[in-house]
Amino acid sequence: MSLRVFNTLNRKKEVFKPLDRGKVRMYVCGPTVYDSCHIGHARSVIVFDVIARYLKEIGYKVIYVRNFTDVDDKIIDKANQLGIDSTAVAERFIKEFYDDMDALNVERATIEPKATDHITQIIQFIEKLIEGGFAYRVEGDVYFSVEKFEEYGKLSGRKLDEMEAGARIDIDERKSNPFDFVLWKSAKPGEPHWESPWGMGRPGWHIECSAMSSEYLGATFDIHGGGKDLCFPHHENEIAQSESISGKPFVKYWIHNGFVNINQEKMSKSLGNFLMIKDILKTYHPEVVRLFLLSNHYRSPVDFTEKAMDESRKRLDKIYAFFARVEEKIGSVSDRNIEPGDCWQQFCEAMDDDFNSALGIGVIFDTVRTVNRMLDQYENRGSEQLYSYQLKKTIQDALADIRRTGNILGILLEKPTVYFDKQQTQGLEQKSVDPTMIAKMVEERNAARKAKNWKKADQIRDQLADMDVILEDRPDGTVWKINN
């Protein structure tokens, strides 16, 4: 099966054929760095992280560009609020972005340019637009004339004559058309600025991405991605200004991910329901967050709730418990070359259908259930030699397949003991439980059981249960864990 992707531009799935054989050039809009990243940012970054990983795994050389918008009205406003320089604001939140994404196992893009490092390219881009008659100057500002680009609206499906001025834009009587957008803004007191043919000023948002993408990927490239909210006006405007200069298609495949809702409500500042990544990671393991965000198809909305996150944690626990069981019964997977099995092939079939990670995750759980049934059957036989060479190989091959799929999804990267230790520690911190006290209570219960004081032993177990501590009595002793 060939890889097929849903192209927003044509509103249908298409067979993926990159412009250059064996090579994929991809640009994804990165954050405007004026605040900490929220769960919506995480979804977009993780979706395209997985897409890049998969493309590389199936043999493509991927040049992945993800930018930072580090000059913008919002950054300037934040700088004024904090009483610091806008450059300091951008640097602070770029660092936070990396801290969050590193914690979420996000791989670095091939190139991660900043807008302020490309002012020369931006100015040159605007000059070409003016020369071609697609842009005009008003005092120290420069605007793009949307009426000069006949195909304006082809990505979003909007038509200029049907759009209502003022609905999504600020009215400026100086513009030829209300939907004309700014390419260069004249300098205001206290704002960052650069020298240009139109006076001191700074670039508009849309022109930054056009200039940076063309700098690293050329006039036409394979994939442009971002959140659904960027389709209009940002990506629409990128197309207009880029194709006006080159006369060529700007991007072959447009990919947009869906929103993250919070308890069935859209994230918004007015509702105060923005969930920051750094806060979520205090409660949930990073792989739980990734599993949750990838458990729906990337184009569909996903609803962040405590129930959904707990379900994702339990699902991940099951896989790691499966890993622990296999290691105990069969041993760890060797480093030998293993032929891909059914799990990998089915996972690829899912990903080849428009990067359907939700279906791919289902393949992993089907494989876990199948292998667990194999282990159950052999353990029930009671034979001294429970596991034949062929069974061991089958199980180890399946485990290797699962690990390989995990590498694509950015999960299942830890040893079971490390994963469960982290879960235990996180649970203790979250519930403010003292492990020393728990250990002492377990000892007291063991002593009561030894003395056949079952009433006291049960009382201690109930006390621990009230603290969300679960006990498991084994032949070699009692172990406990936090019920997260």
Whether 319 and 194 share a structural domain: no
Extract the tokens encoding 435: 């492990």
Whether 10 and 114 share a structural domain: yes
In a domain, 365, yes or no: yes
Whether 116 and 227 share a structural domain: yes
Residue 389 sits in a domain whose CATH number is: 1.20.120.640
Gap between the terminal Cα atoms of the chain: 41
Whether 240 and 363 share a structural domain: no
Cα dist. 28→65, 155, 343, 368 in Å? Answer: 6, 16, 30, 34
- pTM value is 0.87
Q: Which residues contact 318 (CB under 8 A, 6 or more apart)?
A: 365, 368
Backbone angles phi, psi at 122, to 5 degrees: -65, -45
Extract the tokens encoding 56: 């590389």
In a domain, 424, yes or no: no
Higher pLDDT: 478 or 169? It is 478
DSSP string, 324-390: HHHHHHT-PPPSS-----HHHHHHHHHHHBTS-HHHHHHHHHHHHHHHHHHHHHHHHH--SS---HH
Q: Alpha-carbon Rg of the chain, whole angstroms?
A: 27
In a domain, 132, yes or no: yes
Report pLDDT for 384: 44
What would the mean pLDDT of 15-34 be, rounded to a whole number? 98
pLDDT digits (tens, 9 = 90+) for 446-483: 888 888 888 888 888 887 777 677 777 766 667 677 66
Is 395 in contact with 306 (CB distance < 8 Å)?
no
pLDDT digits (tens, 9 = 90+) for 63-111: 999 999 999 999 999 999 999 999 999 999 999 999 999 999 999 999 9
DSSP string, 17-60: --SBTTEEEEEE---B-SS--BHHHHHHHHHHHHHHHHHHHTT-
Cα–Cα distance for residue pair 292/296, rounded to 1 Å: 8
Report pLDDT for 430: 59
Extract the tokens encoding 343: 């799990």
Is 228 in contact with 144 (CB distance < 8 Å)?
no
pLDDT digits (tens, 9 = 90+) for 369-405: 999 988 887 777 655 455 677 778 888 889 999 999 9
In a domain, 288, yes or no: no
Whether 218 and 325 share a structural domain: no
Q: Taking every pair of C-alpha atoms in the chain, what is the biggest distance, in angstroms?
A: 93
In a domain, 134, yes or no: yes
Q: Which residue has the tokens 């791919």?
A: 360
Q: Which residues pair with 269 in a beta bridge?
A: none
Is 384 in contact with 324 (CB distance < 8 Å)?
no
Whether 36 and 169 share a structural domain: yes
In a domain, 105, yes or no: yes
Whether 257 and 312 share a structural domain: no
Whether 367 and 442 share a structural domain: no
Whether 179 and 313 share a structural domain: no
Give the total number of structural domains in the chain: 3
In a domain, 274, yes or no: no
In a domain, 370, yes or no: yes
Task: Give me the helices (H) in 83-154, please.
Answer: 86-103, 119-131
What does the buried/exposed string (b/e) look like for 355-385 if buried means 16 or more CB atoms within 10 Å of the residue's CB?
Answer: bbbebbbebbeebbeebbeebeebeeeeeee
Helix 306-329, helix 416-431: angle, nearest 10 = 140
| Percent of the chain clearing pLDDT 70 (strictly above) | 89
Full residue range of the structural domain in which residue 245 is found: 4-266
pLDDT digits (tens, 9 = 90+) for 188-224: 998 999 999 999 999 999 999 999 999 999 999 999 9
Whether 466 and 387 share a structural domain: no
